[in-house]
Amino acid sequence: MSAGPGDLPAHIRARGDLEAGDRKVSYPPAPHPLRVGVYDNHAHLEFADGDNPMDYTEHLDRAGSVGVMGVIQVGTDVETSRWSAALAHREPRVLAAVAIHPNEAPLLHQAGELDDALAVIDELASMPRVVAVGETGLDFFRTPEELQDAQKDAFRAHIEIAKKHGIALQIHDRDAHDQVVEVLLEVGAPEKTVFHCFSGDAELAEVLSAEGWYASFAGTVTFKNSEGLREALKVMPRSQILVETDTPFLTPVPSRGKPNSPYMIPFTVRSMAETLEMDENLLAAQLTNNTIDVYGRFDDQPLGELGSVLRGR
């Protein structure tokens, strides 16, 4: 494990701390390179995973070797959001998203720390190369009913931050489709609203289509039992679809269960192209255009030095 440039650590999270099991798994072989490059719209490069963890430079280098040109690096709490902003600040292949994850926000609320955390997110969201507020949203799979109101309040606050800074929103929606849509319509969605790791069916895809929201497809769309997701993909306008890995999670077929990395995204792009009966290169070009529509170009905001907000206080 090598150190990051300057004061940026190579890893600040270990996947083994999150899950049961020993994660004695290795990175899978790389797919054939894409001929037309794409971006990974959602990844957590701060995680060390498997028996031979890669740091973010290795992730980005391997990604580049198969045509993955860059990554939206996504924070889930104050520490990882600062890290994401700092990485985007110095790494041309990275843009950042910052937020308190919906599973984390109610816990901070209980501890009386949510307002301070949101103030940091607001400050980070004003920085160059921070192009989205996310991941935020609702997760009724992991959050007990008594905390769901606090989760909704935090989601609303994140939406306001995205609108205030005129940047995109990346939504985490787990078992909460109706409520996510309800909150978005109630408070007014940001102009660029993305359902990260889209997990809905054709019916939710119709809603996104009508509202002009984006569906970002992860490795789950390659899974054998994901027929509903593939139906949803077919319903989406091609101008409103994105692709992501959610690294280190959700590794696409044929390497389900192994550590994920942005270099695995060609498997997902090819599976989507097959579902859409579309040429792989045309789909890749469409996905890249869509990423730029939502987040802007990777090279149009300057790299820079760390501000005090990134170092913490």
d(CA 86, CA 303): 10
Q: Which residues lie below 8 Å from residue 79, measured CB to CB, with a gap of 6+?
A: 12
Instruction: Decide whether 123 or 246 has the Cβ nearer to Zn ion.
Output: 246
Task: Report how many residues bind Zn ion under the rule CB under 5 A.
Answer: 1
Pick out residues in 37-96 that bind Zn ion (CB under 5 A).
none
d(CA 225, CA 153): 34
Q: Least distance (Å) from Zn ion to the CB of residue 210?
A: 26
Q: Least distance (Å) from Zn ion to the CB of residue 226?
A: 18
For residue 68, CA distances in Å to 32, 74, 110, 132 come to 12, 17, 40, 20
Pick out residues in 223-262 that bind Zn ion (CB under 5 A).
246
Q: Least distance (Å) from Zn ion to the CB of residue 42?
A: 6
Instruction: Decide whether 6 or 172 has the Cβ nearer to Zn ion.
Output: 172
Tracing tokens 């909704």 back to the chain, one arrives at 152
Instruction: Decide whether 114 or 218 has the Cβ nearer to Zn ion.
Output: 218
Q: Least distance (Å) from Zn ion to the CB of residue 171?
A: 11
Q: Least distance (Å) from Zn ion to the CB of residue 277?
A: 29
- Beta carbons of 136 and 99 less than 8 angstroms apart: yes
Instruction: Decide whether 231 or 251 has the Cβ nearer to Zn ion.
Output: 251
Q: Least distance (Å) from Zn ion to the CB of residue 24?
A: 23
End-to-end C-alpha distance for the chain, whole angstroms: 27
Strands 13-14 and 47-48: parallel
Tracing tokens 């797919």 back to the chain, one arrives at 31
Instruction: Decide whether 58 or 173 has the Cβ nearer to Zn ion.
Output: 173
Binding-site string for Zn ion from residue 94 to residue 133, where x marks contact by CB under 5 A and - marks none: ----------------------------------------
- Beta carbons of 152 and 138 less than 8 angstroms apart: yes
Which has the closest alpha carbon to 41: 166, 161, 162, 170?
Answer: 170
d(CA 276, CA 176): 27
Token pair belonging to 11: 């890893």
Instruction: Decide whether 77 or 246 has the Cβ nearer to Zn ion.
Output: 246
Name the residue number minimizing CB distance to Zn ion: 246
Q: Least distance (Å) from Zn ion to the CB of residue 124?
A: 17
Instruction: Decide whether 49 or 246 has the Cβ nearer to Zn ion.
Output: 246
Q: Categorise residue 292: left if φ over 0, alpha if ψ from -120 to 50, beta otherwise.
A: alpha
> Would you call 264 helix, strand, or coil by DSSP?
helix
Instruction: Decide whether 216 or 300 has the Cβ nearer to Zn ion.
Output: 216
Q: Least distance (Å) from Zn ion to the CB of residue 134?
A: 8
Residues that bind Zn ion (CB under 5 A): 246
